[in-house]
Amino acid sequence: MTLSGLASLASALVITTALAANAQTTLTIDVDHPAGKVSPTLYGLMTEEINHSYDGGLYAELVQNRALMDDPAGPAHWSLVQGDGALATMSLDHAVPLNDVLTNSLRLDAVTVSESRSAGVANDGYWGVPVKPHTKYRASFYAKASDEFTGPVTVSLESADGSETFARAKVRRVGSEWKRFTVTLKTGSAAATANGRLVLSVNHPGTIWFDVASLFPPTWRNRPNGNRMDIMQLLSDMRPAFLRFPGGNYVEGDTLETRFDWKKTIGPIERRPGHACCWGYRSSDGMGLLEFLEWCEDLKMEPALAVYAGYNLNHSHIDAGPALEPFVQDALDEIEYVTGDVSTKWGAERARDGHRAPFPLRYVEIGNEDWFDQSGSYDGRFAQFFDAIKAKYPNLKCISTIGTEHPEGQRIKTRKPDVLDEHYYSSAATYEKEAPERFDTYDRKGPEIFVGEWAAYEDVKPWERESRGLPPTPTLKAALADAAWMTGMERNSDLVVMQCYAPMFVNVNPGARQWRPNLIGYNGLTSFGSPSYYAIQMFSRNHGDTILKTSASDSARLLEGATLDAKSGVVFVKLVNRDARANRVAIHLRGVRSVEPEGTAVTLSGVAPDALNTVDSPTRVAPVATQISGVKADFDYTAPPYSVTVLRLHCKL
């Protein structure tokens, strides 16, 4: 090749590179042609006990197996601590129960102990007891002692090997009857550790029995049986409109006995037996029905209550008819506990539990994913619940768990559900393909749609074994697909009235999780939002009230949506650029009288699709807000590579 040939090849390469660096798309937004109302409840949360969501997660209790019910064979998570020369034994005692519900206790026989040689029991928490500096912890426990025991019990927060004590307090006297003791433990300036332990120790000989040993750090709104502050803050920042609880599979249970039996989850924690949860570990039920409701109250979320509907994950079911009646009554009682005033039996029970005022309730979901019930019993079961609920609570909307993503033959035929709950766990590629039209063709006469579980996975299905080796939370690639999917739900939110990502939580410690991807990750000390968390937060905080019609010249490159806040005239434009190249978008706002030249761009982007957040790098992929200028009815905005953008444009209509 000649020199001039080389030169022209070089300039051709430059031109090609320049073109590759910037894709171009045209986006037209019809601001003066509303295409429907944005559902005010579109952005919400879904929760259940999975991946240690509550125990070892949101629920702030730091002691694992506090009620000694986790393993009948021994005191799991408790160990014997013996100072130099001390002699003691520890055992699980079935013969000295705390009460008729908590039928085991922890027995400590202190044989050779003295002022300088103490012995005790230590709890290792959930992957360690996290201890932070300058923090007040509330410790409590039940204890009783043999007659010869005369000494105090020392409560201490220590490092895992006992070499360091962070805080200590004493209970002077333990009698021969069960009694509850509480102490405050205040830490000093020692650095935070995720790996501490709680120790109850003695230095006088005798036998002491312990039960319901509990340790709480400061909680959100200072609730006594409350939630972790950092995780609540992450949720609050999402501004969720509702909470779907308590499942998911958790409401069904593997068997009838292990369903979410709400009556066993209320009242004092020492009256809650806990139960084997369907995700392979035992739930303390410290997060019980009232705690779910108070969680809603604290974040101003509307409860979306799922009731047990006679189907278990082992594929057993209870036929509609008399056998199902007690479970229908249980659901009615549950609704009364939530909504009844103190003149009702269950409203009064709620008041006794500490919450006099009823909670609001509009939606009740009957079961969960009943398409798994191949017996065909759901139609009859749904009808029985539906009729009983409507007879007593005509204003409640009943949600069917079988939606239009399942064959016609499986759906409810004998009643018209108010709402259908549809679940979509799909690959990023499927989401991006289906986002532009998935809900566009649905019958506007209803039922309303609740996308009660959804999440994009990158490649490996969430429930497959290989997913265990992958990071617990989604990458930017998944977040881009999630954002694309949300543009479709928001554009159809005249019909898609509620939606929520699932699962919401994961404890990132080894062995803690059963599923991926999950929205929010944490260990004992700290928590973080995934890129998908931030994408949802951006949408949820910028949804307006009116859907606008949009058209883009190249939907393979750009997925988009637009809404308007009719009162303020703010137009929210959502742009999802999945490309490695920036995309210069020529935006045309049709039907506006004028536009303020200054607007805001909130952008979530990363260097590569596999970028993600972790406990050590919690905000590697996080939204950045910038002022943009030169905004007009026709203007260009360049969306960065691999990005989700929300533009806020101030228009006069």
Binding site for ligand AHR (CB under 6 A): 48, 50, 247-249, 368-369, 453, 502-503, 515
Nearest residue to 58 via CA among 194, 226, 239, 195: 226
Q: Which amino acid belongs to residue 40?
A: P
Please say which residue, 502 or 589, places its beta carbon nearer to ligand AHR: 502
| Smallest gap from residue 136 Cβ to ligand AHR (A) | 35
**Which residues partner with 449 through β-bridges?**
420, 496
| Smallest gap from residue 187 Cβ to ligand AHR (A) | 36
Please say which residue, 502 or 575, places its beta carbon nearer to ligand AHR: 502
| Smallest gap from residue 251 Cβ to ligand AHR (A) | 9
| Smallest gap from residue 445 Cβ to ligand AHR (A) | 27
DSSP track, 405-444: TS-GGGS--SS--SEEEEEEEEEHHHHHHHTTTTTTTS-T
| Smallest gap from residue 244 Cβ to ligand AHR (A) | 10
Describe the strand order of the beta sheet including 136-145 as a list of residue ranges.
Answer: 87-93, 105-112, 206-216, 136-145, 179-186
| Smallest gap from residue 254 Cβ to ligand AHR (A) | 12
Return all residues near 319 (Cβ < 8 A) that are at least 6 apart. Answer: 310, 377, 380, 381
Please say which residue, 53 or 550, places its beta carbon nearer to ligand AHR: 53
Q: Taking the CB of residue 333, how many other CB atoms lie within 10 A of it?
A: 17
Please say which residue, 515 or 528, places its beta carbon nearer to ligand AHR: 515
Angle subtended at Cα 364 by Cα 361 and Cα 370, rounded to the nearest 5 degrees: 165
Please say which residue, 126 or 457, places its beta carbon nearer to ligand AHR: 457
> What backbone torsions phi and psi does residue 306 show, to the nearest 5 degrees?
-95, 130
Cα 288 from Cα 59, distance rounded (Å): 10
Q: Which amino acid belongs to residue 232?
A: M
| Smallest gap from residue 250 Cβ to ligand AHR (A) | 6
Please say which residue, 181 or 311, places its beta carbon nearer to ligand AHR: 311
| Smallest gap from residue 455 Cβ to ligand AHR (A) | 8
| Smallest gap from residue 464 Cβ to ligand AHR (A) | 13
**Which residues partner with 546 through β-bridges?**
37, 564
HSE (side-chain half, CA atoms, 13 Å) at 116: 2
Please say which residue, 252 or 294, places its beta carbon nearer to ligand AHR: 252
Please say which residue, 453 or 565, places its beta carbon nearer to ligand AHR: 453
**Which residues partner with 547 through β-bridges?**
563
Cα 507 from Cα 414, distance rounded (Å): 42
| Smallest gap from residue 513 Cβ to ligand AHR (A) | 11
Q: Residue 375: helix, strand or coil by DSSP?
A: coil
| Smallest gap from residue 451 Cβ to ligand AHR (A) | 12
Cα 31 from Cα 29, distance rounded (Å): 6
DSSP code of 403? -
Cα 600 from Cα 541, distance rounded (Å): 13
DSSP track, 281-296: SEE---S-HHHHHHHH
| Smallest gap from residue 368 Cβ to ligand AHR (A) | 5
Please say which residue, 516 or 557, places its beta carbon nearer to ligand AHR: 516
> What backbone torsions phi and psi does residue 285 show, to the nearest 5 degrees?
60, 20
42-65: b or e for each residue (b if 16 or more CB lie within 10 Å)?
bbbbbbbbbbbbbbbbbbbbbbbb
Q: Residue with CB nearest ligand AHR? A: 248
Asked whether 38 and 545 are in contact (CB, 8 A), the reply is yes
Please say which residue, 109 or 254, places its beta carbon nearer to ligand AHR: 254
Please say which residue, 324 or 455, places its beta carbon nearer to ligand AHR: 455
Please say which residue, 248 or 521, places its beta carbon nearer to ligand AHR: 248
